[in-house]
Amino acid sequence: MPEPSFEITTRRQGAIAIIIIDNPPVNAMSPGVPGGIIAALEAANRDAGVQAIVLMGGGRGMIAGADIRYQGKAWPEGEKRLVDLIDHLDRNPKPVVAALGGAALGGGLEIAQACNYRLVGPQASLGQPEVKLGIPPGAGGTQRLPRLVGLEAASEMILSGRPAGAAEAVRIGLADRQLEGDFLEGAIAFATEIAGRSQHPRAGDRDVALPSPDFFKKLKEEMARKARGQTAPFAAIECLEAAVSLPFEEGLKREREIFERCAVSPEARALRHVFFAEKAASKIEGLPKGARPKPVSRVGVIGAGTMGRGITIALLDHGFEVWLAERNAEALAAGIARINEHYEAAEKKGRITAPEKAERLARLHPAVTFNELSGADLIIEAVFEEIDVKRAVFAELAGIARPDAILATNTSYLDVNRIAAAAPQRRDNILGMHFFSPANIMRLLEIVRADHSSPEALLTALDVGKRLGKTAVVARVCHGFIGNRMFEYYIREANFLVEEGATPAQVDKVLTRFGMAMGPFAVCDLAGLDIGWARRKALAPTRNLSERYSTLADRLCERGWFGQKTGKGFYLYEADQRKPLPNPDLDELISVSADESGIARRSITDDEILERCLYTLINEGANIIEEKIAQRASDVDVVWIHGYGFPRHRGGPMFWADDVGLDRILARIEQFNRTHDFWEPAPLLKRLAGSAQSFSSR
């Protein structure tokens, strides 16, 4: 592993030594950095003229955290570690002031906690996000933070991973002062102010008070509801209990034992994988070096329905000027009204202020003709999911949009190449931008690379996605792209299982117990069963009648049971309640559907449900990777984590498959292939399993 270049510099100003850590891009604690800081501290201690030390980061901030590349791996022999640096700071004879101008996360904040004082700039962000990587803080964070801010505030920060801003850090006692103006000069002035004091505070000298006798009991009950199978939050609670029950030094040892146990766990490996997978997803292979995104500030959105409104709100929330176009004046007025209602509700809940609401709505421009979009840098089409409708829109846009404008379709399934062919003179600037509903909340954005999409168009879509706070993944053109193509296999197998003897509640329970955010039938009820029904009816003329087909969902729709929107679907929903209740009329429909297919219903185990629902995902994911619909296997994981609620702590379906063992999965798929439809093993899966390789290498 190549070592990053870094520099630790020291300079004097009067009686103050300023040690600056410069390890771009985020001043991570890579090998060599802790030892370099220790050497600089020792030199400052030897200098008789130095009365206090300021420790700060160059570039973007203090220290963003430990170098995640080394988590769970061997540290270079002989190199000082983060814990060695923190131990040195605990014993340093001269006072040390941590100057936190930017991000101080994880190990960076643990370093700051071991200093005597902490100063923050207005842009500071202080946090212990380790649980998001499957570990508790391991360099004293669970022992020092409760001593600085109290057990309640420390527990919230550690278990949520949420960073505190500058004002909050001062308020809870994590920082001593917020500095305005020249940050370095302010830090030097503070260090000069405290240099002459006879004693300086250390976090380890304080005790931790238990807020209530049942504090940890309630904390564990809360985590049991939220964690959904994760172990790191409970490991962090175990460390926090040590902060209360053990002397400081013993608590540090206990924390380290727990940290090292977690660092090599499957959960930590999975979460590290996701961390790097998210970074890799934004990299598009094969683009020329000089390609750059086009600037985008004005965006047109066509369609004021659910998706168009969600996309519009996402754009308004992130500073874009938006023209919302809808030819039907009543539909446009209704769409604008719903957007206003959204911001009214957000203001009432305290999520935005009245001036913020007014500023966002001032950037919203209703448009009753497409001509009003002629000045847009980017136009996103979000009309009805029907190929001829979308082609007509793009054919019209070809004569209206600016020649250099990017044109994007929000299709979930359709052929983006066919849509682009409706505007052949524009095809270089046409691609897919598949937002997930609700578009202003869901983080996933599938960017669909059509055959003629230019590098500039792709990079522009990626840049807009980043500005919207989305996790963008690039896919090639096929029916359903990455996520929805796999979802069709997933939901089809779930329906088959119900026909064969399972219940929707049993299937959903198995999948949510595994860690899915929702079970497949609850998802369908939430999305609206009529959406899938419309797609199935459109595809019916080309369906192979010799293949197995479940009529169950169609039968629900024929009765007008579309899920939550009608109060009845696979489940019942009482007024103003989203909690599903059993649908007493469902059993009869299941029996009719099974009889029609000639299926004798049987008892189905939870293990079979899990295998059939997830292994079909993995099998189709392998086909998507081999066909190069996805650039890499980890992109499939990112799509399913951010778009479909696959448990992050399991790393995504393809990483999880590697963990289970591809040979084991292939053996079960071959068994299912002998007794069930649609289980032909993917060629890539067969090759990888046969050569003891993994998806992680793809």
Annotated active-site positions, please?
A: 110, 130
d(Cα 639, Cα 653) in Å, to the nearest integer?
Answer: 10
CB 526, CB 569: distance < 8 Å: no
Helix axes 232-245, 151-160, angle to 10 degrees: 160
Cβ neighbours, 10 Å, residue 455: 18
Taking the CA atoms of 285, 454, 314 and 564 in sequence, report the sign of the dihedral they define: negative
DSSP code of residue 290: T
Report CA 156 to chain centroid distance, whole Å.
20
Q: Does residue 582 have a cis peptide bond before it, meaning omega lies within 30 degrees of 0?
A: no
Residue type, 129: P
- Start-to-end CA distance of the chain, whole Å, equals 19
Report CA 238 to chain centroid distance, whole Å.
26
Rounded to a whole number of angstroms, the CA Rg of the chain reads: 28
DSSP code of residue 205: G
d(Cα 359, Cα 390) in Å, to the nearest integer?
Answer: 32
> Tokens 């001032």 sit at which residue?
362
Backbone phi and psi for residue 446, each to the nearest 5 degrees, phi listed first: -85, 120
6: its two tokens: 């870094």
Backbone phi and psi for residue 514, each to the nearest 5 degrees, phi listed first: -65, -30
Angle at 319 between CA 313 and CA 322, to 5 degrees: 55
Q: Does residue 438 have a cis peptide bond before it, meaning omega lies within 30 degrees of 0?
A: yes
d(Cα 567, Cα 284) in Å, to the nearest integer?
Answer: 43
Burial class (CB in 10 A: 0-12, 13-18, 19+), 2: exposed
> Tokens 């499939």 sit at which residue?
636
DSSP code of residue 630: B
Cβ neighbours, 10 Å, residue 356: 14
d(Cα 458, Cα 438) in Å, to the nearest integer?
Answer: 23
Report CA 668 to chain centroid distance, whole Å.
31
d(Cα 370, Cα 83) in Å, to the nearest integer?
Answer: 61
CB 614, CB 487: distance < 8 Å: no
170: its two tokens: 């001062």
